Amino acid sequence: MKKTILTITIFILTGISLGADSAKLSVAQIVNKANIAAYYQGRDAKARVHMEIVSDSGAKKVRDFIILRKTIVDGGDQKFYVYFNSPADIRRMVFMVHKHVGEDNQDDRWLYLPSMDLVNRIAAGDKRTSFVGSDYFYEDVSGRDLFEDTHKLVSENDKYYIIRNTPKKPSDVEFKYYDLSIDKKTFLPMKIFFYDKKNVLYRKIEVLKVGIIQGHPTALYVLVTNLAAKSKTRMVFSGVKYDIGLPDIFTERYLRVPPRKYLR
């Protein structure tokens, strides 16, 4: 019996490695490349985001913000600065992250509320909460740490590697696992499907449009669907620029005084 399983396993593994073009890539390599493609293009980057949250009843809410990103260590630490423009009454609100990669390394997060001139640190802990009322999570903004999951190649076809990611600490998250469909050419994760404890698909993130910006394949239109709450969030990226030479504006001082120059 044991032998049969072993044989099958070997067969599957070899089958994959034989069938694929990039036969040499291990699961870890694929996942790393995808992580780089999604979050680490260029030394730094800037994008305008137009976000629409559409509820089951069709009611629509809009958010506009500008996102600035600077990589400190490739595939490692990063800094994010999210500046809100609309709706008018949350204009100048800022969300900032210092992302720290590695096991037991917690991100630092800040929030600036201009109406109260208040800078709040957000306690380390659950990052899987809604990003400003959308179906996107805070964790989706800065990216989920690769260390938090185990990765397994479950299948692949001409276009995608399908990687199953299972959390190491299941009690920390609401999903049982999620499947990433990684584009074989660009290594951008094109689909992320989340499954609940009963193996039911309840949330998905899909990249619906990709553009090449300064040579980097970049997601320009992302759709997040919350199947349980029947809510959708669309995000359209525009004005994407890489390597703009961002100085270190990721400090508390710049929360109150936004770096205008880099926000246009």
Interface positions with another protein (CB under 8 A): 48, 55-57, 59-61, 64, 85-91, 93, 111, 113-116, 118-123, 125-126, 128-134, 138, 171-172, 198, 228-229, 231, 239, 260-261, 263-264
In terms of CB distance, is 132 or 210 closer to another protein?
A: 132
In terms of CB distance, is 211 or 239 closer to another protein?
A: 239
Least Å from the CB of residue 244 to another protein: 14
**Residue appearing with tokens 């205008």:** 260
In terms of CB distance, is 109 or 164 closer to another protein?
A: 109
Least Å from the CB of residue 67 to another protein: 15
Least Å from the CB of residue 226 to another protein: 9
Least Å from the CB of residue 206 to another protein: 20
Tokens for 98? 């210092």
Least Å from the CB of residue 261 to another protein: 5
In terms of CB distance, is 62 or 73 closer to another protein?
A: 62
SS3 255: helix
> How far is 124 from 36, CA to CA, in rounded Å?
24
Query: Measured in whole angstroms, how far is the alpha carbon of residue 178 from the centre of its chain?
Result: 13
In terms of CB distance, is 5 or 123 closer to another protein?
A: 123
> How far is 211 from 47, CA to CA, in rounded Å?
13
Least Å from the CB of residue 143 to another protein: 18
57 burial level (CB within 10 Å; 0-12, 13-18, 19+): exposed
- The pairing of beta strand 149-156 with beta strand 118-122: unpaired
Partner residues linked to 179 by β-bridges:
164, 193
Is 62:87 a contact under the CB 8 Å cutoff? yes
Give the number of other Cβ atoms within 10 Å of residue 211's Cβ.
13
In terms of CB distance, is 122 or 208 closer to another protein?
A: 122
Phi, psi of 253 (to 5 degrees): -55, -40
